[in-house]
Every structure is written in structure tokens, then in C-alpha cells.
Structure 1
Amino acid sequence: MSTSPYMACQRESIFSPTRSIEAAMGIISGISVTPLLLLLSGLCFQFCTATDTITSTQFIKDPETMVSNGSLFKMGFFSPGNSTKRYFGIWYNSTSLFSVIWIANRENPLNDSSGIVMVSEDGNLLVLNDQKEIFWSSNVSNAALNSSAQLLDSGNLVLQDKNSGRITWQSFQHPSHAFLQKMELSENMKTGEKQGLTSWKSPSDPSVGSFSTGIDPSDIPEIFVWNGSRPFWRSGPWNGQTLIGVPDMNYLNGFHIVNDKEGNVSITFQYAYASILWYYVLSPQGTIVEIYSDDGMKNWEITWQSRKTECDIYGKCGAFGICNAKNSPICSCLRGYEPRNIEEWSRGNWTGGCVRKTPLQCEKINGSMEEAEADGFIRLTTVKVPDFAEWSLALEDACKEFCLKNCSCIAYAYYTGIGCMSWSRNLTDVQKFSSNGADLYIRVPYSELDKSRDMKVTVTVTVIIGTIFVAVFIYFSRRWITKQRAKNKKRKEMLSSDRGDVHLNVSDANILGDKMNQVKLEELPLVDFGKLVTATNNFDEANKLGQGGFGSVYRGRLPEGQEIAVKRLSRASAQGQEEFMNEVVVISKLQHRNLVRLLGCCIEGDEKMLIYEYMPKKSLDALLFDRLRQETLDWKKRFSIIEGIGRGLLYLHRDSRLRIIHRDLKASNILLDANLNPKISDFGMARIFGGNQDQANTIRVVGTYGYMSPEYAMEGRFSEKSDVFSFGVLLLEIVSGRRNNSFYHDEQSLSLLGYAWKLWNEHNIEALIDGSISEACFQDEILRCIHVGLLCVQELAKDRPSISTVVSMLCSEIARLPTPKKPAFTERQISKDTESSGQSQNNCSVDKASITIIQAQ
């Protein structure tokens, strides 16, 4: 790139401070020195102040730039790729990736560096050269005379009336090739007005290319990429939560497709955490690329793209063909069809598609022929459904009958969240997935069904013969099974008494499964599944609060108005069933103001859910480690949170009727209510200790690196001191506002513990305090908390204080604190990429800040 937009440029223009000062000196040469200095300082204040706003007097002259208030975006002139032409645009203020997200004069570039961007006298935003030739204009007819253009931290450039604040134009309503959070892509079926993306011609030419993308406003919305006027890629229908033709896309960042029932359909997305950046770009090759960063734009990752294989190209295999990237060749005809042109098909030209082998006899279903010879349906599983779906109100059971009675219906599918879909035109753009997708039922003549029915007869006969032999075996083994059940029952009763009557001999294998722990469920209210579906609006993505190894958590509201949080166990989760029942057992028996309250549970079929009180401020890490939100936590609030966590932990270790070791205490498991009162949550990993038990061993190490004590992480030994270690890490994080597993290249330390220990030895522990509370008048209290935190994270468990002692230390009931010894993990990295042993496997949580390790037993 000939001129980098990241160059630090001096502001100088025809209205620059230097020229204004020279003019002023010529006019007031006879005025005394003091008034002259006052005038000069006023002029400098007017023109030297950094700003994110363009006006008629405050403008951008190439190569100057302006930065948004939060330093997320920058605007100015740039030259793309190997081009020397100059364009005015907006890009992320990142040093690792030059990522333009909007361009004004993409069809009319400047040939030199004489470009100027300013607000004209009639209130429009203009791009012009030093000859005052206009290269681009916002072209607003109702612009205010006193207008200014401001670059927001969303990346949106807004033109507004400075007096009333009325927005007359904004770049988000005129997108180029990038789709950002809070931006809207839309199409109005009544007016035909579209708002979509258009690709660049090439990496060096940002003028409008061949490809465009937007939303297809049919009964079932879909996202399309078009090459000119021809479809090039299709997302599949929207089911209210996901695009079912894109199973590998990340839907955690708040996708919403809305049909306002007035002809306008729009799509937006917004991620819950401001510190995580996500946007989409339509490449010059017609591929939608998802780009992501969670570390302040230091590193960007491509996490998804619309085209991975040839099967992602629209209609690759023609009409009535199906594409499977794992097959060779990738195209084949649907069952009951054959290639239209066998010669072309064999050469790999599949665009001609397929035709039906045998005509349908659908009229036979109406009684003119025997019902046995009627057409039927065959099922294709895990597929991308075809284009041109027709939607109907039919329910799942009636969807088949609806299609069967209509001779023009050649296929149907039913998908939760969408309903009944049917097809009467060519089945185009069908793709086979390895998982997810939908079931598609294709209409075929009776002759195609015969083959499958003959196979069913063969299988049935084989099963009957095998059943006879199995029945004999069952008869003679029944007595032995009865004896074994009696023995197992007695053994389980003994186990129950050993564990303090927590796991009882109440078994319902149909509800809980063979591997679920047995529990006395009548102690906890059971909530109807349908009631939770209504409360969460059918588990709408808009109500999702978070996601972990167990599944997802949704916000809901019961009919009586109470807000709840519903933790839904994922059916595909490797972690979950044992932890689910463990959490039911543990938390249903605990009551404390600093423990999250379990209101009930739901166990119906494969569904397993826990219902908690709703915490409106979400988790502690969402506030503490967000640079834009952590300033709301002053020291009084932080100390109150520390005290609350300590009291909750003291209750678990000493005051509850069950003695509990939490084993996964961390910032994301501390929930905050409306008054920022902390509540310890997630007892899926907790263990119950007997009255005389103070330590236990396990070969199944669970928890989060960075919070696990060394004896637990390395040897599987855990005790109350394991939770004390985690509390110490959490205490140091609250004081410093930094994660333990962060890297501190500038401090030459590998973890927060190592950094704190280094500062302690250098008698400079004040440097650990978060800048937003460093000026607080509670310096002694903050330093005492750091001291207590270092005592909690000492290498040896015997050196760490008990939680009761820790609470006394924090409340200054113990005046003199002992000198801490060296913390654990100060000389080696314990990060999210490290495995605890050769047998461990990693399950990553959504916040990318913690790893849960589960070892096979």
C-alpha cells in the first residue's frame, strides 16, 4: 500500500491553526502581547482539539484521519492493495489487520492525495479535491444547514442536525461490502427497496463487483448471494434461531431475522459482550467471511465462511440432483431420478440435472386404482432443503397428508420453528450434510417403494427368527436377573447410607437414564416442559444468556410474572448428565443469600433443565473484565462482592447441613443480582464431604485452569483448601481487574499470581491495583485484600488459611497477617491450551477464558 492509513498525520489544511495564526498576526499587529496570546490560544483550542466529527470548518484532508470516541474505528483516505487511487472510507483502528468496512467514493476515486471530506453549506457530506470537484455526496434533500458528521464506536458515520440531533443520513443505511453489529440488511416486498452488501471487483478495486448479498423476503426468509441476477449461494430457511442450511455457522452473536408483517424483512446481529468484535465481509469471489477478535483487535480470526466446498455453490448438481462433498463424484441424482444427459453427467457437467425415471401415479390415491399402488415418500436425512419452498399452516402430522393429496406436490419437510414446507417446482440446491440439516420427504412412484418394502420383509423375517432364540435365553436367565437386581438394590441402599442419604434407591430409568444418579426428586418442584417453552418464547436466541459445556441458559418469565433463568442440558453434551443430577442434589439442600437459588427442575423425555432465580447483572466476569463496563465497579462494590463470596464459601464449608467443596469457583460462576450482590452458582462439579472427612482423591479432575489448586490439578487431591486457592485467585482478579490466565509481556510474568508475587517482592504491590480504583481512599483495605489473596494461593495447602480465617482477615478481625509464601504456578504457564495429563480432553467454555477438564475414569 503506497500510503498507509495508519500513519500518524499532522492536521494541516486551508483552515489549519498555522494559517489562521499568521492571518491573525497580520490583522492585529498593533495589539499588545497579552491579548495576542489569548487570541492565539483560543484559535489553537478551536483547531488543535482531537475530534471524531466533521463540520464545515473541521474537516479531513488527505492523509489525515479521525478516530471514533472509543478508538474502535478510524476514517480517512486510503489506497487498497496495489492501487494508487485514493478512497475515503472507514476501517477498524487495528494495527494487526487493515480491515475497511465502508467506502464513500468507491465508484469515483481520486487520482492523487488532494482529497478533502467536509460538510457543505447545504448540510451534505462531501468528498472533493483541492479544485472543489465533488467525487461523492451524501445527497440528502432534507439535510440541515447546521449539520455535522460523527464517526460512532459502532462504525456508523451519521450526518445530523447539530441543533436538534436529527439524523438525516448514516453509512449503516448505505452499506458497501461489510456487515457490522447493529447494522441492518433488509428488503421491502411492497416497495422493492433493498439494503444489502456488494462485493469489491478485486482486492485492489473496491468499486461494485459482480456479487451482492441480502435477504430474500419470502414466507420463509433466507440469505442469498447473487452473481449478477443469478443465485450463487443460499443459506437455507430461518427457523427463528438458526439458518438450517448453514449448520456450522456461529449463532451465539445474537442473530435476528424479523418480518414486520408489513412487507419489510430485516436481519441484524449483536454480540452480548462489547469487548468481543464480530463482523462479516462479502469477498470479491462471492464468499461471506466471518471475522472475529476477542483481544482488543490484536488478533483477528476467520471463524466461518459461506463457501468451503463445491457443494456450497447454488444448484451445483442441477434440478433433482444432490451434492455430497464427501462423495466422488460429488453429484448424484435423487432416488427415482436419472441424469438428463448421461454423457454430460459422466464428464462432470451436472448443470443439466436429473429427470424422473417413472412418471408418478398420484391419481391412484383418489380411488381409481388400488391403494397399494399409490405413490409414496422416501426420506432423506440431514440435508439442506431445496429452494422455492412453499409454506403452509399444516401441523407435522398433517403435512404429509397435505402433500399426498396434492398431485403437484413433489416433496415436503417439517421443521420446528418453521412448520410445513412443500415443493411443487424443481428440487434445486439440495446438499447432504454429515449432521444437522433437515429431513426431506420426496414423492416417488410405487415401484421405487417396492424395493424398500421387500427389504423390510427380509429384515422382519430375520428379526422374528432371531427373537425365538432370544426368548429362550430370556426365559432361563430371568431368575438370575432377579437375583442380581436384589443384590444391586441392597448395595445401593448401603451406598445411600454412606453418603448421608443424598442418593436414595429411587430409580426411574425411563426418566433419568441408566447412568443418572438416583435422587429424591419430590423435595424439589417439577416444572412442566410446556410452561418453560412458553416462558422462554420457545427458547428464542434473543433470550439466551450464555452457553457452556452443559448446554445453554435462557431467560424466561413465568405466567405469574417471575423472571427465571433456565439451564437446559444439551443432548449432544459430553459433559452434563452426572453434573446435572449432582447440582440438583447439592443446591436443593442449600439456602444462603450468597448462593444462587434453585427454584425447580424439569425432566421430560430427553429434556433435563434446572430453573434458577434470574440474575439481571449476569456474571462477575462480564463486568470485571470488560474494559468499558468495569469502571462501574468501584471499590465499595468490589469489596462487597468479595465479602459475599467469602460468606457463601464459609456457609458451604462450615455452616450448611452438607459440607460442600465447590471445585469450580471462578468469576463466570459468580452471578450478580440487581444490587450487585454476589451469588455462587454452578454446583455441577461440587462434592459432598462426610462429617470427619477433610480431603479426598479423584482420577477425574474437573474445574478451570488458572483457578485449580496445584495439588488438585497435578495429583487429584482436593479439600476445603482447594476452594480457598480459587477464592484467592478470584480476590486478586477483583482487585486488579485482570484475568489470571492473561499474559503480561510488559511485566515479564506468565500469570496474575506470578505478577503479584513479583510486585510483592519488589515492595511495589500498589502497581497491581486496577487503575479505576487506584485513587480510592481505601488503600489500606485494598492492600489487605491483596495480602489475603496471596495467603490463599500459597503453593502448599497446609500453608493456606481456612475460609473462616480468611473472612476474619478481610473484616480486620485479625490485625496482624502472616507473611505469604511463594504462590503456585509462578514459573510455568497454565493456560487454556495446556492439558492436565495425557488422558485429559478439553471442553471449552463460551467466554474463551476458561477450560473445563474431564478425565475418563
Structure 2
Amino acid sequence: MKMKLLFLLLVVFHEPIWVFAISDPLVSTPPLSPNSPIPSSMAALPPGIHMGNEEHRMNSNKKTLTALVGAGTALVAVILCFLWLWIHYRKFPSKSKKSFKNSDAENGVALAPFLSKFNSIKMVGMKGPVPIIEYKQIEQSTNNFRESNILGEGGFGCVYKARLEDKLDVAVKKLYCESQYAEREFENEVELLSKIQHPNVISLLGCSINGDTKFIIYELMQNGCLETQLHGPSRGSALTWHARMKIALDTARGLEYLHEHCRPQVIHRDLKSSNILLDANFNAKLSDFGLAVADGSQDKNNMKLSGTLGYLAPEYLLDGKLTDKSDVYAFGVVLLELLLGRRPVEKLAPAQCQSIVTWAMPQLTDRTKLPNIVDPVIKNTMDPKHLYQVAAVAVLCVQPEPSYRPLITDVLHSLIPLVPVELGGTLRVSQVTERVHPTD
């Protein structure tokens, strides 16, 4: 490339010099007499008597020279322009690619990293950017939907563990879409998750259709959901204080992505501990986007009430007003679950229930009472100052008035200093250990 450009530049600059070299200066001669005869053969006459013709030739050469110089200059400018573009492209290739990737992310291209996993999987088509997997494979991979393969149950069906032909373990949600609401949730979740890619949001791998029964295939989360870890047989014993703060931080990061970085903004509308899934390393990811609202142009007020009792914000429950602060309220309830080890709603009598917010609020703001209501599994394992900070964040998130609740970005920044560096925060664990377990 460089040799070609050098050759072109030499040719362009050499041409005018070559023209000057062949244009010999005319010798000054006396002017011709008007009566002097002009022979028909100019070659037979001495150069001095061809003054008029030589002047014409000189003018012609000058015009040719000017044209050549102009053309050469233009050509040099064009070549230099192309040379600059070539050098700039070679020097900054990642910048152009980065802007293209950012544009793709905003437009919803999210499945590319996962499509390569389906090289040996039979697909029967595409639903937008989402692969549609053959139903028979789903049936076989779940052992004909055997009960022992069930990972969890939802409003419209069950979630099964499955192993596809390429030994890829996945989770398969089976939905009975006999009603328009179930069909709408299926369409909504597939459409949204096909546009979202974030470390703290579950990854959609594909879907399958068999009549009124629809299937959504996700990445498998080995440690199940947060609800089972906290309120199941283990009663939270696998979740240390730092692990719980890590889960809270991951959840906040997922919500911040939905609220602040998705265009249009996405409101989850059904955030709860059963929709927070944990992988093998207890990294948390948001799941179940069937009720999520992503169209900023639609009227979110007076929407059909949907969600789970105990997590619904008061303004949404009573007036149907939905905003991103509704998700912040639900996050506050999850934070209380992590802190206290209690369910969001507990039965006091057959016809009487009490929410965790109503029960805990008077004690959360009292430093003498707060240590006594903390989950016994993590009691006395954290710096008391950190305990008070988390309680304060939870109290702000579950305020009855939406305007008093913080943005999820503010919550995120409040949690980062409480999570160890190796878990994604900025806390140095050695300092905390010295405070919690002082040396004798």
C-alpha cells in the first residue's frame, strides 16, 4: 500500500518537471516583415522566422502545464485524504467497532454469544432473533417432563431442568398459554429478554412451541432462587453476610440496567426473591419478565394490577400508579428478607397476615432493637455499622411515599462499599474481620 502511494506521488510531481524540460526557450529574433513570404514547409525555414507559431506552442504548453499541475494537485489531495483515512482506520479500529456494538446493544442485539451453543441443536425457525428449538428435543431433554426434573413452579406452569444434545444444561419454562394473559406474558418475556444482555439478568437461549404450550429456554442457575435459599430447608445457612450483600448488589445492578440504561426504560413489576436466581458462585440474576413494562409511551397508570402480595408498592396496589420507584420498593422488601430471614408476608392467624415491612419498620430505626431481629444465621457476623447502613437503605426503599424512595442508582452506590472487593464491591475484608473478631 505504501509503495503504491509513493509511486503515484512521484508520477504526479514528476510530470510538470518533464514538461519544463522539453520546452526550450526561444531565441530572440527580429520581427518578420509583413511582406515576407511564408514557405509551405516550416521544417525548411530557420527557427527565428516561426515566431508566431512558437508563441502559440508556448501558450499551449503553458495551458497544458497549468492543467497538469492542477490535476496533479487534486490527485495528491485525494491520495493524501485516502492515506489519512487508511492510517486512521489501522490506528483506531476498536473505536469504530465499539460504537457499533453500543448501537447494537441499544437496538436490542443480545443473543449472539449464545447462538453458537446450538450448533448441534435442531432448530425449526426463529422468533425474531430467538431460536425456536424442535419440541421433541425439549420433551426428550426433560425426560418427558418428569416430576423429578422440576426446578420450580409459577402461575402458568413449571420450570424443568433439561440437558440438550450437546450436553448443555438449561432451564425450560413450560407455559400453558390457553388464556390471552399467558400468551401475552410469553410474548412479552421473549421479546424483552431477546433485547437485554447484562451479567445480572438471566440469559434467554431459545424457545419452543407445541400448540397452546410454549417453552422458554434459559441458562441454568445451579443454586436455584433466593427464596428457596432463604426460606427452604437450608434456612439461609449457605448465605453468609457478605454473600447476602453480594446478592443485594447484583440485584441492584440488574435493576439499574433496566431503569437507567434500557431505552425505553424497563420496569420489572414482579421483583421478588423467587425471581432472583443464583448461579454456582451465588451470582444473582433477575428473571421472569412476563409482567415487565418496557414501552415508555404506554400509559402505566391504571394498568391491570399484577405482581405478588408483599412486594407491591402502596401506590401501585391502591391506585394502580406504576413507576421505577415501584421496583425500588420491591427491592427494599428483598433487602429485608436478606437481613431478617423472614418471608415478605407471614400468617398470624387463618385470616390474618402481617407484612415484613409493617412488622420490622419500628425496630429497624432503633439501634438497640435492630441486632435482635437480624437472621440468627448471620447475627454477630458483620460490622454493626454496616448493619445499620443496610437497615437505613431498606427503610428508605420501603417508604410509603414514592418520592421519598431513592433511585436504584443511589441504592447501588450505597451498597458497593459494603461488599468485599473479590465479590464486586470496594470493601477490604481484613479490616472488617479485625472489627468483628478483635484480637485478645
CA distance in 2, matches of 1:787, 1:606: 47
Q: Are the structure 2 counterparts of residues 548 and 658 from structure 1 closer, same or farther at C-alpha, using a change threshold of 3 Å?
A: same
Larger radius of gyration: 2
The reply on whether 1:542 has 2:176 as its aligned counterpart is no
Q: Are the structure 2 counterparts of residues 655 and 599 from structure 1 closer, same or farther at C-alpha, using a change threshold of 3 Å?
A: same
The answer as to whether partners of 1:759 and 1:767 remain within 8 angstroms in 2 is no
The answer as to whether partners of 1:596 and 1:612 remain within 8 angstroms in 2 is yes
CA distance in 2, matches of 1:625, 1:722: 24
Out of 513, 516, 529, the residue aligned to residue 135 of structure 2 is: 529
CA distance in 1, matches of 2:144, 2:291: 29
Please state how far the C-alpha of 1:775 moved relative to its aligned partner: 1.5
Please state how far the C-alpha of 1:538 moved relative to its aligned partner: 1.4
The reply on whether 1:732 has 2:336 as its aligned counterpart is yes
> Where in structure 2 are the equivalents of 1:423-462 lying within 5 Å?
none
Please name the residue that 1:355 is paired with: none
Equivalent position SS for 1:579? helix
Instruction: Report the number of matched residues.
Output: 293
The answer as to whether partners of 2:185 and 2:290 remain within 8 angstroms in 1 is yes
Gaps of 5+ in 2: 1-105, 109-125, 419-440
Q: Are the structure 2 counterparts of residues 695 and 758 from structure 1 closer, same or farther at C-alpha, using a change threshold of 3 Å?
A: farther
CA distance in 2, matches of 1:796, 1:631: 35
Equivalent position SS for 1:603? strand
Residue 537 of structure 1 aligns to which amino acid in structure 2? N
Residue 739 of structure 1 aligns to which amino acid in structure 2? R
CA distance in 2, matches of 1:694, 1:752: 32
CA distance in 2, matches of 1:606, 1:754: 42
Equivalent position SS for 1:586? helix
The reply on whether 1:675 has 2:281 as its aligned counterpart is yes
CA distance in 1, matches of 2:410, 2:379: 27
The answer as to whether partners of 1:744 and 1:751 remain within 8 angstroms in 2 is no
Equivalent position SS for 1:590? coil
Q: Are the structure 2 counterparts of residues 536 and 749 from structure 1 closer, same or farther at C-alpha, using a change threshold of 3 Å?
A: closer
Q: Are the structure 2 counterparts of residues 695 and 530 from structure 1 closer, same or farther at C-alpha, using a change threshold of 3 Å?
A: same
1:227-279 superposed Cα distances (whole Å, 9 cap, x missing partner):
xxxxxxxxxxxxxxxxxxxxxxxxxxxxxxxxxxxxxxxxxxxxxxxxxxxxx
1:766-820 superposed Cα distances (whole Å, 9 cap, x missing partner):
222111111103322222111101100101111111000111122249xxxxxxx
The answer as to whether partners of 2:241 and 2:382 remain within 8 angstroms in 1 is no
Residue 787 of structure 1 aligns to which amino acid in structure 2? A
Out of 308, 313, 321, the residue aligned to residue 709 of structure 1 is: 313
The answer as to whether partners of 1:645 and 1:678 remain within 8 angstroms in 2 is yes
CA distance in 2, matches of 1:619, 1:557: 19
CA distance in 1, matches of 2:275, 2:396: 22
Please state how far the C-alpha of 1:744 moved relative to its aligned partner: 6.3
The CA RMSD measured in Å over matched residues stands at 2.4
CA distance in 2, matches of 1:606, 1:744: 40
The reply on whether 1:551 has 2:169 as its aligned counterpart is no
The reply on whether 1:751 has 2:352 as its aligned counterpart is no
Please name the residue that 1:517 is paired with: none
Q: Are the structure 2 counterparts of residues 604 and 572 from structure 1 closer, same or farther at C-alpha, using a change threshold of 3 Å?
A: closer
CA distance in 1, matches of 2:362, 2:139: 52
CA distance in 2, matches of 1:553, 1:760: 36
Out of 800, 804, 828, the residue aligned to residue 409 of structure 2 is: 804
Please state how far the C-alpha of 1:541 moved relative to its aligned partner: 1.5
TM-score scaled to structure 2, two decimals? 0.63
TM-score scaled to structure 1, two decimals? 0.33
Q: Which has the higher relative contact order, 1 or 2, with Cα contacts under 8 A spaced 6 or more apart?
A: 2
Residue 737 of structure 1 aligns to which amino acid in structure 2? G
1:46-89 superposed Cα distances (whole Å, 9 cap, x missing partner):
xxxxxxxxxxxxxxxxxxxxxxxxxxxxxxxxxxxxxxxxxxxx
Larger % of strand: which? 1
CA distance in 2, matches of 1:562, 1:779: 44
The reply on whether 1:723 has 2:327 as its aligned counterpart is yes
Greater shift, 570-579 or 586-595, is seen at 570-579
Greater shift, 804-813 or 555-564, is seen at 804-813
Equivalent position SS for 1:577? helix
The answer as to whether partners of 2:255 and 2:408 remain within 8 angstroms in 1 is yes
Residue 168 of structure 2 aligns to which amino acid in structure 1? Q
The answer as to whether partners of 1:621 and 1:667 remain within 8 angstroms in 2 is yes
Please state how far the C-alpha of 1:696 moved relative to its aligned partner: 2.3
Out of 394, 400, 407, the residue aligned to residue 789 of structure 1 is: 394
The reply on whether 1:577 has 2:194 as its aligned counterpart is no
Out of 300, 319, 324, the residue aligned to residue 696 of structure 1 is: 300
Residue 172 of structure 2 aligns to which amino acid in structure 1? V
The answer as to whether partners of 1:551 and 1:573 remain within 8 angstroms in 2 is no
Please name the residue that 2:422 is paired with: none
The answer as to whether partners of 2:159 and 2:171 remain within 8 angstroms in 1 is yes
CA distance in 1, matches of 2:393, 2:256: 15
1:161-202 superposed Cα distances (whole Å, 9 cap, x missing partner):
xxxxxxxxxxxxxxxxxxxxxxxxxxxxxxxxxxxxxxxxxx
Greater shift, 624-633 or 577-586, is seen at 624-633
CA distance in 2, matches of 1:793, 1:749: 18
The answer as to whether partners of 1:766 and 1:783 remain within 8 angstroms in 2 is no
Out of 171, 181, 196, the residue aligned to residue 565 of structure 1 is: 171
Equivalent position SS for 1:554? strand
1:814-855 superposed Cα distances (whole Å, 9 cap, x missing partner):
xxxxxxxxxxxxxxxxxxxxxxxxxxxxxxxxxxxxxxxxxx
Please state how far the C-alpha of 1:521 moved relative to its aligned partner: 2.0
Equivalent position SS for 1:630? coil
Q: Are the structure 2 counterparts of residues 765 and 594 from structure 1 closer, same or farther at C-alpha, using a change threshold of 3 Å?
A: same
CA distance in 2, matches of 1:611, 1:638: 27
Q: Are the structure 2 counterparts of residues 570 and 795 from structure 1 closer, same or farther at C-alpha, using a change threshold of 3 Å?
A: same
CA distance in 2, matches of 1:689, 1:566: 27
CA distance in 1, matches of 2:364, 2:243: 25
Equivalent position SS for 2:346? coil
CA distance in 2, matches of 1:782, 1:573: 46
Please state how far the C-alpha of 1:611 moved relative to its aligned partner: 0.4
The answer as to whether partners of 1:588 and 1:598 remain within 8 angstroms in 2 is yes
Please state how far the C-alpha of 1:526 moved relative to its aligned partner: 1.1
Residue 768 of structure 1 aligns to which amino acid in structure 2? I
CA distance in 1, matches of 2:154, 2:268: 17
Please name the residue that 2:20 is paired with: none
Residue 303 of structure 2 aligns to which amino acid in structure 1? I
Please name the residue that 1:660 is paired with: 266
Larger % of helix: which? 2
> Where in structure 2 are the equivalents of 1:153-172 lying within 5 Å?
none
The answer as to whether partners of 1:550 and 1:575 remain within 8 angstroms in 2 is no
- Could you tell me the percent identity over the aligned residues? 40
Q: Are the structure 2 counterparts of residues 774 and 573 from structure 1 closer, same or farther at C-alpha, using a change threshold of 3 Å?
A: farther
Stretches of 4+ aligned residues off by more than 4 angstroms: 571-575
Please state how far the C-alpha of 1:571 moved relative to its aligned partner: 4.8
The answer as to whether partners of 2:169 and 2:220 remain within 8 angstroms in 1 is yes
1:418-469 superposed Cα distances (whole Å, 9 cap, x missing partner):
xxxxxxxxxxxxxxxxxxxxxxxxxxxxxxxxxxxxxxxxxxxxxxxxxxxx
The answer as to whether partners of 2:200 and 2:250 remain within 8 angstroms in 1 is yes
CA distance in 2, matches of 1:808, 1:694: 30
1:626-661 superposed Cα distances (whole Å, 9 cap, x missing partner):
353411111011111000000000001112344200
Please state how far the C-alpha of 1:689 moved relative to its aligned partner: 3.9
Please state how far the C-alpha of 1:605 moved relative to its aligned partner: 2.8
> Where in structure 2 are the equivalents of 1:126-205 lying within 5 Å?
none
Residue 789 of structure 1 aligns to which amino acid in structure 2? A
CA distance in 1, matches of 2:276, 2:328: 15
The answer as to whether partners of 2:345 and 2:353 remain within 8 angstroms in 1 is no
The answer as to whether partners of 1:671 and 1:679 remain within 8 angstroms in 2 is yes
The answer as to whether partners of 1:694 and 1:719 remain within 8 angstroms in 2 is no
1:330-389 superposed Cα distances (whole Å, 9 cap, x missing partner):
xxxxxxxxxxxxxxxxxxxxxxxxxxxxxxxxxxxxxxxxxxxxxxxxxxxxxxxxxxxx
